[in-house]
Amino acid sequence: MHSDPKLTERLRRTAEHGPLNERVMFGGVAFFLNGNMCCGIYHKDLVLRIGEDQADSALKKTHVRPMDITGKPMRGWVMVDPKGCATKQQLDAWVDKAASFVGTLPAKTKLPSVRKKKK
């Protein structure tokens, strides 16, 4: 997942105002809250975990679509194209929505283990 560098920097500045932790994933960037992925960037799109109820209403908005990068949409996740998060106010609102939802999830105390390849 290669991330748009300009959107990545904007998201970093937004994430500085809260307890989000940045991680590199699949060549892109993702932000976590209490060990749960909250938001990130896939190419030029903002990826958000906002829960099924909020996703249903968000999908009615322009520039928002289901998160589907594998052929199977992920419930409770949306992707926002660049026009839908072009301003600071738009980006902040989306990140706040994601952080509010993810903040309700149980914290993950341990990261998943990484499996080593067998030779």
**Nearest-angstrom CA–CA distance, 80 and 5:** 16
Q: Tokens for 6? A: 């300009």
69 contacts: CB under 8 Å, gap ≥ 6: 1, 42
Give me the numbers of helices (H) and strands (E) for the chain, helices first please: 3, 6
| pLDDT for residue 3 | 79
Q: Could you count the other beta carbons within 10 Å of the beta carbon of residue 82?
A: 14
Mean pLDDT of 25-35: 85
**Nearest-angstrom CA–CA distance, 35 and 106:** 9
| pLDDT for residue 116 | 55
Mean pLDDT of 114-119: 54
**Nearest-angstrom CA–CA distance, 77 and 41:** 12
Q: Which residue has the higher pLDDT, 108 or 94?
A: 94
In the chain, the domains with their CATH numbers are 5-102 (3.90.1150.30)
Strands (E), the chain: 21-25, 28-33, 36-42, 45-49, 64-67, 74-80
| pLDDT for residue 17 | 63
